[in-house]
Structure 1
């Protein structure tokens, strides 16, 4: 469990860091300033990733058949928390331009894909273990 979680998180962290710095470099190169902190958005998604994969990992030991449902519910909770935490940014009086909108969407989908891959591999591993036992 710990080895899989640590290896995947290190890989994810490396890729996320590369995308984060590429995104910041691009915004600086075109002299675009965002009306919000991109650091805070990446930090939120990383913390949500840690909570989700740890929860799914622990749940897979107790209720392996419910992991997929839990992951689906956790994505909706994550979206709700994101909207709650960043409501001032998302619902500001002035509309966001394209770069501001895409700068929110990139980390959201990137971490969503990482979480989905991790949970999918975990469910396959749990399924393979249960088949080999039975």
Structure 2
């Protein structure tokens, strides 16, 4: 269990480094928030969700799917609370701001969903 969590954390760290570097390279406009903070939040939250799913699938394998749904809502709620000013401060977000918020979400959500699906199918 610990080995799988560490391997997943290493993969997420690699995804963070590569995707942030590429995204930051292609940005030409200034954003209303720090891009590295958005990427860091999603990377850390993804590792926390996966580690929690490892624990839940070990202790209560029949309830793992429900706990994943709850963790997704908590993750998105905490994101909105932390980045409240960046999202709701401006009346209209620029296209670069929208991509800066949505792209990391989908990248890390996809990685997390694949890992959790693999975990739940193995149990």
TM-score between both structures, scaled by the size of structure 2: 0.93
> Hey, which bits of structure 1, 4+ residues long, moved more than 4 A?
none
Structure 2 partner of 1:122: 119
In structure 1, list runs of 5 or more residues that go unmatched.
127-134
Q: What CA distance in whole angstroms lies between the structure 2 residues aligned with 1:42 and 1:15?
A: 10
CA RMSD of aligned residues (A): 1.2
| Cα offset, 1:18, TM superposition | 0.8
State which structure, 1 or 2, has the greater radius of gyration over its C-alpha atoms.
1
| Cα offset, 1:42, TM superposition | 1.1
Deviates more, 1:62-71 or 1:90-99: 90-99
SS in 1 for 2:92: coil
Structure 2 partner of 1:86: 83
Contact 1:68 1:119 in 2 (8 A): no
In structure 2, list runs of 5 or more residues that go unmatched.
none
Q: What CA distance in whole angstroms lies between the structure 2 residues aligned with 1:93 and 1:40?
A: 18
For 1:23-102, what aligned pairs fall within 5 Å after superposition? 23-27=23-27, 30=28, 32-102=29-99
Matched residues, number: 123
TM-score between both structures, scaled by the size of structure 1: 0.86
**C-alpha offsets along residues 25-63 of structure 1, whole Å, 9 cap, x if unaligned?**
111xx3x11110011111111121121111110111110
For 1:10-25, what aligned pairs fall within 5 Å after superposition? 10-25=10-25
